Structure 1
Amino acid sequence: MSFPLGKKTLEDTKKSLESLIAHEIKQGNSGHEFVYLVINMERPLTKVRDHTPRIVPIPNRLSRISERSVLLITKDPSTPYRDPLTRAKSPTEDLFKDIMPLKKVKTLTRSTKSAKNMLSEYDLILADHRIHHLLPDIMGEVFYRAHKRVPFVVQLAQITEEDMKKPLKRQERVERCDAQYVLKQMRSIAKNTYYFPSRDAQIVLKVGYIDTEPEKLCQNIGAVIEFLHNEKFLPSGGVLKKNPMKELFVKTNNSASLPIWVKKD
């Protein structure tokens, strides 16, 4: 396989991954524990808090949407979206554990206890793009601290050229819901990895699990590096073109970081 940083870095990456996997297995850790790629950069990507996950395509999937416990948060009311997404023979018929309007989310996250109860119910939260920006203040630290369970943005219908001609406030009132279009976004979110623009000159991304073959982990790492370097993938990708990497590491939640590449002085 080709690798964006060359053959030697690919070999070093494989060695570090093999050592990491062997250590985790020896420690008796679950095979489904995440492996992370840590990218240290010369500068932070942003100076402000950014709670919008950026999807990064990878060749070897992290999960399937059918394996996830999914909450969708919509504009008030949720009925115009719930019906097309859950009706019989809809492509998303069985994929949502719950679909909630924003008003209900406000009620369920009023106290820390109720917010924690809600957090434990879902491992993937999606939010209508029209209300996503409101959620940090509503859902609070229980969900957003260390990006614990930050909602992913979805559009419930594709924006048409005719919609784009309308004033922004009228665009936001569009009540269409296209289940097939929503499904496409859900599959991408479940399959691929993601990052948050950091104020700490560091990006951390999931690239697989300790029971993933090292070759597949390397393929995912290569895809991440290519996406983040290549300006054709702007605005989510290409962010490292003008903000060079200093170091790359792989790790798990509990392990030390193992180096796979360090920038030469």
Structure 2
Amino acid sequence: MALSTRNSTAVATSLDPSQTLRASTALLRKIQSDQATRTATAEKTNLLADADEDEAADDVPVWLVLTTKKHIIDKKRLKPGKILLPHPHLDTSDATLRICLITADPQRKYKDLIAHPSFPLELSAKIKRVMGLEKLKAKYKSYESRRQLLGEYDVFLADDRIVSYLPTVLGKVFYKSSSKRPIPISMEGKRQNFDEQGNKRRKLAEGGTKVVKEEVSPKSVAQEIEKTLSSSLVHLAPSTTTSVKVGKSSMKPEQIQENVKAVTEALVDKYVPQKWSNVRAVHIKGPDTAALPLYLADQLWEDEKDVLEEAPPSNIGKKGRKRKASALTDGANGAENAVIEVPAPDGKMRRLEKPAPKQIAPAVKAVQKIRK
């Protein structure tokens, strides 16, 4: 299977579509084969297993793995990014989709937004519950109540202002796997970057005023929810590897191909410094399959300056002075009472008299001869 490779003189701008389609076809075939094998040899269902561990046969995720030559972590991004997918792995057209919306207090404000006539009727029908943070804390304290909440809904959306509190409130029932973790959404109005006269607002440190936001509207909340349901989340980690979910095993290879293209281009364009010259490899894989390569770079470094022509010396002291590999002698090699130079704790060389070799007593020599 031919791989897409690029060197420093011809940097790639996109993946090879034929290569992506072949890899997607092979990966889906492998996942479906493994599913059939597990079904044939499966034991009785464990009634004590958690509901979220029993994934449906068509819900096996497909992951895109992007490897870079340098770290791409952005410390300013404390919340996951979103990439719009041509074919969402979540079926938003399903009328039976159940959504739970966790909001900041007071929850009545957001319930009225969802019930407003301008809010899309189809979307409001899928939002089965709107719950504030304080009510969530008070009602779902036990492990069993949280498990019941997890099984009642398909998707959990949370106001991004309170999403950092949810791991403590919901516990490991929600966060031991990534299938139903609450997805953060913005439920605030947009920032007003210009004042009434049309002048750009200055920062507070520059003598300006505090940030002013517009009043949130039902239309903006609906757009944010629809965008989130059709997107894939990007969690940047302090490493050179980033994984993004691009589909599931029930999709067609062509759908996986289009999602891979969209996610790769968005990742490289928005999150990777130096763009494609900093990309080392792109793979796709399932949870228990090998990673199939889509792109491999010819060079392991991003810039020629990163390559050292010579290895740095390893015998340099703290003050930048080279230490002697061995003590220097002024006398003859092996001579008695020779003067040697040794490094002192202050970094300077001191001259010491080399001690004479120990003399073996005649009685000891006689015993050694007898033993021989």
Please, which of 82, 90, 100 is the counterpart of residue 119 of structure 2?
Answer: 90
Q: Distance in 2 between matches of 1:155 and 1:24?
A: 35
Deviations 1:104-123 (A, max 9, x none): 22234433333233222223
Does the Cα contact within 8 Å between 2:285 and 2:291 map onto a contact in 1? yes
Q: Distance in 1 between matches of 2:91 and 2:190?
A: 26
Partner of 2:357: none
**Deviation sequence 1:59-117 (CA, Å, 0-9, x none):** 22323435332111111221111022035673143121211010122234433333233
Trace 1:102-117 onto structure 2 (pairs within 5 A). 102-117=133-148
Could you tell me which residue of structure 2 aligns to residue 25 of structure 1?
A: 32
User: Deviation of residue 206 (structure 1)?
Assistant: 1.7
Query: Which of 81, 87, 101 is residue 110 of structure 2 equivalent to?
Result: 81
TM-superposed deviation, 1:259: 1.9
- 1:17-72 deviation line (CA, Å, top 9, x unaligned): 11112222333463443221112233444498x77321112222323435332111
- After TM superposition, list the pairs within 5 Å mapping 1:199-218 onto structure 2: 199-218=238-257
One-letter amino acid of the structure 1 residue matched with residue 152 of structure 2: E
Deviation (angstroms), 1:6: 6.5
Following the alignment from structure 1 to structure 2, what is the Cα–Cα distance between the partners of residues 155 and 224? 21
Q: 2:69 aligns with which of 42, 45, 63?
A: 42
Map of 2:152 onto structure 1: 121
State whether residues 31 and 209 of structure 1, in contact with CA within 8 Å, keep that contact through their aligned partners in structure 2. Answer: yes
Give 1:1-265 correspondences, 5 Å limit: 5=12, 9-28=16-35, 30-46=57-73, 52-67=79-94, 68-87=97-116, 90-91=119-120, 92-161=123-192, 167=210, 176-230=215-269, 237-241=270-274, 244-265=278-299
Structure 1 residues 25 and 144: alpha-carbon distance in aligned structure 2, compared to 1, 3 A threshold? closer
Secondary structure, counterpart of 1:65 in structure 2 = coil
Q: Which runs of 5+ in 1 are unaligned?
A: 231-236
Q: Read off the aligned partner of 1:249 and give its amino acid letter.
A: H
Q: Distance in 2 between matches of 1:212 and 1:182?
A: 29
CA contact (8 A) 2:118 2:219 kept: no
Per-residue displacement from partner, 1:141-168 (whole Å, max 9, x unpaired)? 3323454433222233432527x88746
TM-score, L = length of structure 2: 0.58
SS in 1 for 2:146: helix
Is contact 2:116-2:218 (8 Å) kept?
Answer: no
TM-score, normalised via structure 1 length: 0.78
Instruction: Please give the secondary structure, in 2, of the residue aligned with 1:25.
Output: helix
Q: Distance in 2 between matches of 1:62 and 1:140?
A: 26
CA contact (8 A) 1:52 1:152 kept: no
Query: Which is richer in helix?
Result: 1
Shift in alpha-carbon separation, 1:208–1:23, aligned structure 2, 3 A: same
Are the structure 2 counterparts of residues 120 and 217 from structure 1 closer, same or farther at C-alpha, using a change threshold of 3 Å?
Answer: same
Q: Mind listing any 5+ residue stretches in structure 2 that lack a counterpart? A: 5-10, 37-56, 196-200, 202-207, 300-372
Residues 262 and 108 from structure 1, CA distance in 2 versus in 1: closer, same or farther, beyond 3 angstroms? farther
Question: Distance between the aligned counterparts of 1:141 and 1:57, measured in 2?
Answer: 28
- Structure 1 vs Structure 2: percent identity of aligned residues? 22
Report which of the two structures shows the higher radius of gyration computed on alpha carbons.
2
| Partner amino acid, structure 2, of 1:100 | M
Structure 2: distance between partners of 1:212 and 1:127: 27
> Are the aligned partners of 2:15 and 2:294 in contact in 1 as well (CA < 8 Å)?
no
Could you say what secondary structure the match of 1:255 adopts? coil
Contact residue 185 and residue 228 of structure 2 kept, 8 A: no
Q: Which segment drifts farther, 151-160 or 16-25?
A: 151-160
Deviation at 1:11, TM superposition (A): 2.7
Partner SS for 2:125: coil
Measure, in 1, the Cα distance between the counterparts of 2:244 and 2:15: 22
Q: Is the 8 A contact 1:35 1:208 kept in 2?
A: yes
Structure 1 residues 107 and 43 mapped into 2: Cα distance closer, same or farther (>3 Å)?
A: farther
Mapped to 2, the partners of 1:22 and 1:64 lie a distance apart of 22
**In structure 2, how many angstroms separate the alpha carbons of the residues matched to 1:263 and 1:117?**
48
Higher relative contact order (CA 8 A, sep 6+): 1
Give me the CA root mean square deviation.
3.4
CA distance in structure 2 between the partners assigned to 1:187 and 1:59 by the alignment:
13
